[in-house]
Amino acid sequence: MEKPAHPPTPEGHHPTPTTHPTSREEGVSAVGEVECRAEVVRHHRVIEAWLTGRAPRTELDVFAAAHTPDFAYTTPDGQTLPLPHLLAMIEPAHGAAPSLTIEIHDVRVVAGADTVVVATYDEHHHGPDPRDRRATVVFVRDATAPHGLRWRHLHETWI
């Protein structure tokens, strides 16, 4: 007698095996790595322009509009900030890092569903504080947002 691939549950049912497609397989999401990469890069160009002072002060509204109202940012040091606190922190930083450049690498979709996309990427800062981060972002699909994605949650870790 052939042994089942999955042991029965306490109720005697054999669970159906599930697969979780990677971003390189068909069906992970209608929004793929191209859109995620484009949005991550676009968003960091806005941040870079703000921090270098190249952006007009009205760009803060563009930055804010890219997020859901309930957006949360977990900093590399472990502090979680809701969107109003993040905006209060970034607003006075306009022009504070004139030589800053930000590079984005290794954008990868790790999960997707009808309403959300989860992606990871590496963020490299060059300039006054050359620290690198690895990030995981949760996007909400929104046809009115840049690249069809709105930022819902961001968690960064120092690398």
| Domains of the chain, CATH where assigned | 33-158 (3.10.450.50)
Q: 0.95 cut: is pTM over it?
A: no
68 touches 144 (CB < 8 A) = no
Q: What is the pLDDT of residues 101-132, one digit of tens each?
A: 999 999 999 999 989 999 999 999 999 888 99
Q: What is the pLDDT of residues 12-25, one digit of tens each?
A: 444 433 333 443 44
- What is 90-118 written as a DSSP string? HGGGTTS-TT-EEEEEEEEEEEE-SSEEE
CA distance 146 to 53: 22
